[in-house]
Amino acid sequence: MLAPLGDHYDDGFGAMGLSFSLAARTLIEARKDNRNIFLEHLPSNFLLRHAIELYLKSGIIILHRRLNIPFGDQPHTAQPAVRVGGAWKAIQKVHSVGDLYAHWKDLIQTNRKLLESICKFESAKWDVPRELDEAIAIIDETDSRSTYYRYPDLRDEKADLEKSNFKEVPVSELFSSGQGQQQPAVLFAIKNDEGDFTRAFALDDNTEQRATSALLAADKEMDEFHAMMRLELTDTW
């Protein structure tokens, strides 16, 4: 793992995936006791999502090369490619974790017996957990093009509202004195020139929780699969 990336069995995809994963977890750990006021979840979620993409690409390359599986009509020694639908695309042009995962999982399931026969350790497990299916589906639904966590989306205002921590709330409700009404702990409001509140926004601690949970779960599973593949199929190289 310390060798130059070009010397790695998978051309360095897995090592880079690990680096993004570690960076994401460092950010998450650093702010675990703080609320996400300024969209802090976006960079860590991007790092997790990119780590998963890199782990999947690493696994695809390792499986094709170790098992001598051609990339379509090209030999396993050719530039790596991914089957998307009925076509083969260069691996660097595929960013959907859904497409990558479908190809990665098919390689494992189709060659399950062969993989088990060449493993050195009984602890190697090639079962793809259903939870990983579910997590990948959520991730691809949220960010199929690897842009959701990187840029505002001028074409999809709804998506940007969903990933924003502060959600607009009616001024009348926010400042009402109704009994039993729970007030948000963090909010900001806008006044007009007459001093009247015109808009109000409250911090929503549930923002992106579903996607973040899926990213963390998938990153953990893919990190473990990556370690197993390096150990069993590449002699850790």
Taking only the tens place, the pLDDT of each residue in 136-187 is 999 999 999 999 999 998 887 788 888 899 999 998 876 665 555 565 578 8
| Residue 50 maps to a domain | yes
Residue 134 sits in the same domain as residue 193: no
For residue 232, pLDDT beyond 90: yes
- How sure is the predictor about 214, in pLDDT bands with cuts at 50, 70 and 90? very high
Number of domains in the chain: 2
- For residues 164 and 149, give the distance between their C-alpha atoms in angstroms, rounded to a whole number: 11
Range of the domain at 180: 166-203
Q: Which residue has the tokens 């190809």?
A: 103
**Quick check: is 159 in a domain?**
no
In this predicted model, what pLDDT tens digit does every residue of 38-96 receive, in sequence order? 899 999 999 999 999 999 999 999 999 999 999 999 999 999 999 999 999 999 999 99
- Bridge-based pairing of strands 187-191 and 81-84 is unpaired
Same structural domain for residues 108 and 150?
yes
Bridge partners of 201? 168, 188
| Same domain flag for 57 and 172 | no
Distance (Å, whole) CA 194 – CA 197: 9
| Domain match, 45 and 15 both | yes
Torsion of CA 174, 176, 181, 183, to 10 degrees: 40
DSSP at 164? -
Q: In sequence order, which ranges of the chain are alpha helices (DSSP H)? A: 13-30, 41-66, 97-110, 112-118, 130-142, 157-163, 171-174, 209-233
Residues 145 and 44 in one domain: yes
Same domain, 123 and 216: yes
Cα–Cα dist 51/21, whole Å:
5
Say how far apart CA 211 and CA 45 lie, in whole Å: 8
